[in-house]
Structure 1
Amino acid sequence: MTRVVIAALTYAALGCSLEGAPLVAAQDADAIRHRIRDLGIVVGSYPPGPLNAITDVGGVKVGHTTLISGEGPLNPGIGPVRTGVTVIIPREDVWHNKVPAGSFVLNGTGEMTGLAWVAESGFLEYPVALTNTLNVPRVANGIMDWMIARYPDIGITDDTLTPVVAECDDGRLNDIQGRHVSERDVVRALDQASSGAVIEGSVGAGTGMVSYGFKGGIGSASRRLSEKENGYTIGVLVNANHGRRPELVVSGVPVGKLYDTDTPVAQSVHPGMSEGSIIIVIATDAPLDGRQLSRLAKRAALGLARTGSTARHGSGDFILAFSTANVIPHYPQTPTFALTHLADTHLNPLIAATVEATEEAVLNALTMATTVVGRDDRRVEAISLTRLRALIEPRTEQR
Structure 2
Amino acid sequence: MREIFEIANVIAKEHNINSSAVIESLAEAIKISIAKKYGEDCVVKTSLDTQNQIFNIYIEKRVVETPKKHNEISLEEARKIDPNVNIGDYVDVEFDPEELGRIAVSTAKNVMSKMFKDLEKRVTYEDYKKKIGKIVTGEIWSVGVYNDCIVDFKNAIGILPKKEQSPGDKYVVGETIKAYVMDVLEEPKGVKLILSRTHPGFVKELFMKEVPEVRDGSVEIKAIAREPSKRTKVAVYSKDSKIDPIGTCVGAKGTRISAIVKELGDEKVDVIRWSANLSIYIKNALAPSKVSYIELYEDEKRAKVYVPDEEFSAAIGKMGVNVKLVAKLTGVNIDIIKESEMDKNIQEEKPKETEKTKEEIIDELMSVESITENLANKLYDSGIRSLEQLKTLSLDDLKNIKGIGEKRAQKIFDVLNQTT
* TM-score bucket (shorter structure): under 0.3
Higher helix share: 2
User: Taking structure 1 as the reference length, what is the TM-score of the superposition?
Assistant: 0.21
**Using CA pairs below 8 Å that are at least 6 residues apart, which structure has the higher relative contact order?**
1
User: Taking structure 2 as the reference length, what is the TM-score of the superposition?
Assistant: 0.20
The structure having more radius of gyration, on CA atoms, is 2
